[in-house]
């Protein structure tokens, strides 16, 4: 039960959709432009979810690989929402690219066609990642989250299964926007979103006016699993037990402070299950197998993500070119960003040629750090680093 006197509003990007035209966020009014399903052939099944089955496919016109997401029967409203969000985010950093929307002529079953990403199963990849790898991929994911949040969109299902990584090309894509939603200040949302192990406390205590910060909790759960090599980090057997597992780490005093702030009360049965627990130090999760991944700045970063109070969490918002989290864990990776050295030295006046040289040098340094010398990876990395400069010049 909750008093409506205590409302919550996003700390960043709260009014994005207030200032956008209605047709930007009114997905129910979307008219879908259907492509030709005969342009694509299914090659093999690569995954399945609650709302879809996913296949590797091929575009018969140009012989390029793609991913075909065949949607299970759901409300048209939900399909339109996913399509509208993907269209709005198209071209954003590390956002999976929607290539086409098709449907079967007879069954009318819709399918979404996406760019192909040669990803490695996270259960295989994550145990091999170095400290630098984790910093790099978390930073790439932060860029995707900052972009979608800046466009007034919450992902609401951030988890390893939805973060595709082509480790050879150092390419990351945030996928599966089926649960994503437009953020409107003061609106109450369904708390039955996100996957159990990555559900924020706000969902588990039925706080409905949540915001982008839900994605930051999910990111924190992912990050904890990566650095402590404990996947999933919070392993609840059901939604109630999920809150119990969180309380055993973050403590019940802090949980009660959160509930009091937003005038929330736990169901008596859930309150009894949660019990009373002291906050555990993060050092308790360090062991000989993961200690090389757990730096002081990693702990600082994690601690600022895994907060009960969604308004106290780090945001993904960029400030002066850097994501807020740059103050800690990702600082080393930020130094690899295009033109970072010149910006820091106040030497941008030296011209575009100098910046291009700097970007290429930074990319070479990064390749050395990665111990990666494939030509394909080098070309991709340099193109990735030059693309923001290209946009800045409006070429």
Structure tokens at 156: 């609401």
Which residue in the list 100, 146, 157, 211 is annotated as catalytic?
157
User: Residue 107: which residues within 8 A CB-CB, separation 6 or more?
Assistant: none
pLDDT at 348 over 50: no
> Is 69 flagged in the annotation as binding?
yes
Residues 126 and 214 in one domain: yes
Q: Is 241 a catalytic residue?
A: no
User: Residue 70: which residues within 8 A CB-CB, separation 6 or more?
Assistant: 52, 53, 54, 55, 109, 110, 111
Q: In this structure, what CATH number is given to the domain that contains residue 98?
A: 3.30.200.20
- Domain with 363, as residue range(s), is 335-392
User: Residue 97: which residues within 8 A CB-CB, separation 6 or more?
Assistant: 90, 91, 114, 115
- How far apart CA 64 and CA 56 sit, in angstroms, is 11
Q: pLDDT band at residue 2, thresholds of 50, 70 and 90?
A: low
User: Residues 199-218: what's their mean pLDDT?
Assistant: 98
Residues 271 and 372 in one domain: no
Residues 110 and 132 in one domain: no
pLDDT in tens, 301-315: 999 999 999 999 999
Measured over all CA atoms, what is the biggest interatomic distance in the chain, rounded to whole angstroms? 66
| Residue 310 lies inside a defined structural domain of this protein | yes
Supply the pLDDT for residue 106: 87
DSSP code for 119: P
Residues 165 and 277 in one domain: yes
Q: Which residue has the higher pLDDT, 384 or 275?
A: 275
| Residue 345 lies inside a defined structural domain of this protein | yes
State how far the alpha carbon of 166 is from the alpha carbons of 143, 351, 376, 379, in Å: 17, 34, 12, 15
**Is the bond into 232 cis (omega within 30 degrees of 0)?**
yes
| Residue 201 lies inside a defined structural domain of this protein | yes
Of 135-144, 164-173, 359-368, which gets the smallest average pLDDT?
A: 359-368
Is residue 305 within 8 Å of 108, Cβ to Cβ? no
Residues 241 and 137 in one domain: yes
pLDDT in tens, 283-336: 999 999 999 999 999 999 999 999 999 999 999 986 545 556 544 566 656 555
Supply the pLDDT for residue 50: 85
* Of 92, 115, 138, the domain-final residue: 115
Supply the pLDDT for residue 335: 53
Supply the pLDDT for residue 329: 65
How many domains, in total, are found in the chain? 3
Q: pLDDT band at residue 370, thresholds of 50, 70 and 90?
A: low
Q: What is the mean pLDDT of the chain?
A: 89
Of 4-8, 73-77, 89-93, which gets the smallest average pLDDT?
A: 4-8
| Residue 96 lies inside a defined structural domain of this protein | yes
Supply the pLDDT for residue 239: 98
Between the CA atoms of 239, 245, 248 and 251, what dihedral angle is there, to the nearest 10 degrees? -50
Of 157-166, 241-250, 304-313, 324-333, which gets the smallest average pLDDT?
A: 324-333
3-state secondary structure (DSSP) of residue 129: coil
């Amino acid at each position: 039960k909750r008093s409506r006197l205590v409302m919550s509003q996003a700390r960043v990007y709260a009014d994005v959709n207030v200032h956008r035209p209605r047709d930007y966020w009114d997905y129910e009014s979307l008219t879908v432009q259907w492509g030709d399903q005969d342009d694509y052939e299914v090659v093999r099944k690569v995954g399945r979810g609650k709302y879809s089955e996913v296949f590797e496919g091929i575009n018969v016109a140009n012989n390029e690989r793609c991913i075909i997401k065949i949607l299970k029967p759901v409300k048209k409203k939900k399909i339109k929402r996913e399509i509208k969000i993907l269209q709005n985010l198209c071209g954003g950093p590390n956002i999976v690219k929607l290539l086409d929307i098709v449907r079967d002529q007879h069954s009318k079953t819709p399918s979404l066609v996406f760019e192909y990403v040669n990803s490695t199963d996270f259960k295989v990849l994550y145990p091999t990642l170095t400290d630098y790898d984790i910093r790099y991929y978390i930073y790439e994911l932060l860029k995707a989250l900052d972009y979608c949040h800046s466009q007034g969109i919450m992902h609401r299902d951030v988890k390893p299964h939805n973060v595709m990584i082509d480790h050879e090309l150092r390419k990351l894509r945030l996928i599966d926007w089926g649960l994503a939603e437009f953020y409107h200040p003061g609106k109450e949302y369904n708390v039955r979103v996100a996957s159990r192990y990555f559900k924020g406390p706000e969902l588990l205590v039925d706080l409905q006016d949540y915001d982008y910060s839900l994605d930051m909790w999910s990111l924190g759960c992912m990050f904890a699993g990566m650095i402590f090599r404990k996947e999933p980090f919070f392993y609840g057997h059901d939604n109630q037990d999920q809150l119990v597992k969180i309380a055993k780490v973050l403590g019940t005093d802090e949980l009660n402070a959160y509930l009091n702030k937003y005038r929330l009360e736990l169901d008596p049965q859930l309150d009894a299950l949660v019990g009373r627990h002291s906050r555990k130090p993060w050092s308790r999760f360090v062991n000989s197998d993961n200690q090389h991944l757990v730096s002081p700045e990693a702990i600082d970063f994690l601690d600022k993500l895994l907060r009960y109070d969604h308004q106290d969490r780090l945001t993904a918002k960029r400030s002066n070119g850097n994501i807020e989290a740059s103050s800690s864990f990702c600082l080393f990776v930020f130094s690899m960003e295009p033109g970072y050295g010149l910006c820091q030295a106040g030497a941008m006046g030296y011209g575009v040629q100098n910046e291009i040289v700097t970007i290429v040098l930074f990319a070479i340094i990064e390749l050395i750090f990665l111990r990666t010398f494939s030509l394909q990876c080098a070309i991709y990395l340099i193109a990735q680093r030059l693309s923001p400069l290209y946009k800045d010049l409006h070429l």
